[in-house]
Structure formats: structure tokens, C-alpha cells
Amino acid sequence: MAILGLPVFGYEHAAAFRTLYFVACLAWLIPLALLQRAMWRREWPWLRMALVLLAASYAMSILNAVLGQRLAISLRIRTDYHWDELAEGLDGCWLALIAFCAVHAVAAYYLSLQQVRLHLARAQAAARDAELRALRLQVNPHFLFNSLNAISALVSSHANREANRMLGSLSDFLRATLAHDGRHEHSLAEELALLDSYLEIEKARLGERLRLTMKAGPDLLDSVVPYLMLQPLVENAIRHGIAPLAAPGRLDIRVERAGTQLVVEVQNDGQQPAHAGSGIGLANVRERLRHLYGSEQHVDAGWHPDGRFGVRVALPLRMEAAA
């Protein structure tokens, strides 16, 4: 079509005819595009659409030829219309219009495909976000149920001082979780602060029976971890490992860097049960890590040869962006 707009030298009226055909072809692009879109909306078969577009563009080329003859009469090159010559020399205009239809179809299909991909990505992100929120909401009721059971046991045994201390610590922990802004991830420093609030609850219940060591390098405090990842792991360690013991039990929490990964280890004393079970807390953490990091995360859990139970979580090491 661009060739139709090029100036021609050596022929008196060539420029006028070229300009006419060029402008006419440009004018036909709008109805052709509207016709294509109307057929797409009605979901016509491709063959039917192609035949309609070929016929429409051919009719437009015929009208261009009529306009050309009208211009020739106006310039006194001819004295009358020659209807038998209308089909001559249509190739340039007709092929240009057909080429436009093809380019328009490819461009529209590409844009439509990109839009579908965008909608799919948004839908997948929304579904992932909803599932993560559901998994996260599963943690608090489970923890709250266990805490209230423990408080009830303290009250039944007339350990009122410990029960009051545990209620105060529980209130502080719940206040901290309710103040969370809804992010699925936060800094390790924030996670350790939440964990410390939870451990105050367990210290009020277990007292000297809980022996705790926690190690995390100061250079890792800004690393990003899932919200409430440690609390379910520590709760499992205390509830199933240390609490049933008659003697004091040790709980070790360690966070360290291993190349491009952040490694979190939770180990506890305990007695290996006859039948291994899968706790809600550990299963919850596994699912959330899978949703957040896919194949970049790994969780190992089991009894060690020294008689201790351990959970090792490896996830991508990323630092929280500075505000």
C-alpha cells in the first residue's frame, strides 16, 4: 500500500491517480477492520470469514477503479465510464487490502493471546493468594485450641499464677498477629519477635522444663521468610516432644546461610512414638513453602540417631528491600 503513495514522474496525471488510490485504500481499512472484529465477536468459522473478507476487499477494489475512472473523466482523459475495464489492474489495491486483513488478524490474535495469558496469570495469583491465606488462617485456630487446653489444665491443677501469666502472654501474641498487615512474607527479625511472644506462652506453662537455645546471625535478620513459619514448627516440637517428658527438654533453633539458601533448623528432645504421624503444623508449613517457592524450597523432618527430632527448612535467601 505504501507503493501506491509514492510519487511518479514522467506521466502528467500519475501523482493524482496514485494519491486517489492511496487515500481510498486507507479509507477502506476502517470498515475492513470493523468487519473483521464483528465476525470475531460472532465467532464465525475461519473459512467463512476469509471468503467474506476476500469478497469485501474485492468490492472495495472495484469501487476504487470506479473512482479512478471518475477522476479520469474529471481530468478530461476520458469522456465516459468503461465498465468492461473495471477488473483490470486491481491486483495492487486488492492485494494491499488482503495483506492488511492478514496483518490485522495476526496482531489481534497476538494481543488476544497476551490478554488471555495475563488474565490466567492474575487468576492463578489470586488462587494462590487465597490458598496461602487459608493455610495461614489454619495456624491460629490450631495454636489457640492447644493454648486454651493448656490454660484449662493449669487452672484445673490450681496453678493460677502460671495460668494468668500464660493468658497475658497469649494476649500479647494474638495482639501481635492481629496487627500484621496481611503479607505472606516478612523479615526474619519480625518472625523471631513473633516466635519470642509465643515462647513466652510456653515458658509460662513449662517453666524450667523448657531449655531453649536460639542462634541467628545478625546479617540474616533482614532476610525474607514466610509469616508464622517458625511458630508451628516450634509448637510441634514442644507439644509432641518436650511437654510429654518428665525431665526438662532442650529446644534448639538455628538460622544460618548456606550459599544462596536460608536454612532454618528446629531440633528438640523427645521420645519417638511407635507410630509416626503427620502434624497439622508441619503439613501447613510444607504447603505454604511449596506455594511460595515451588521447587526452590525443601523440608526434611525426622528422628536423628541421637534420639532427637529435627526439622530442616531450606528456602531461597532474599533480603527485604529497604523502605
Of 234, 246, 235, 262, residue with least CA distance to 318: 262
pTM confidence score: 0.57
The Cα-based distances of 113 to 117, 119, 270 in angstroms read 6, 10, 56
| pLDDT by position in tens, the chain (length 323) | 444 444 433 456 677 777 777 788 788 888 888 888 888 888 888 888 888 888 888 888 888 878 877 887 888 777 777 776 666 666 667 778 888 888 888 888 888 888 878 877 776 665 566 555 555 555 556 667 777 887 888 888 888 888 888 888 888 887 877 766 778 888 999 999 889 988 988 887 788 899 999 999 889 999 999 888 898 899 889 888 998 898 999 999 999 999 999 999 999 998 887 666 656 778 888 888 888 888 999 999 999 998 899 999 999 999 987 54
Residue that has been written with the C-alpha cell 519477635 in this structure: 193
Q: What are phi and psi of 265, to 5 degrees?
A: -125, 135
In this prediction, residue 224 carries a pLDDT of: 94
In this prediction, residue 250 carries a pLDDT of: 94
Cα 305 to Cα 216: distance, rounded to the nearest angstrom = 25
- What type of residue is 299? V
In this prediction, residue 157 carries a pLDDT of: 84
In this prediction, residue 5 carries a pLDDT of: 41
In the chain the domains, ranked by start, together with CATH numbers, are 2-117 (no CATH), 159-316 (3.30.565.10)
Of 288, 310, 304, 315, residue with least CA distance to 234: 310
Instruction: Dig out the grid coordinates for 254 from the structure.
Output: 538455628
The Cα-based distances of 210 to 201, 207, 285 in angstroms read 11, 6, 23
Residue that has been written with the C-alpha cell 505454604 in this structure: 288
Of 229, 199, 220, residue with least CA distance to 293: 229
In this prediction, residue 10 carries a pLDDT of: 41
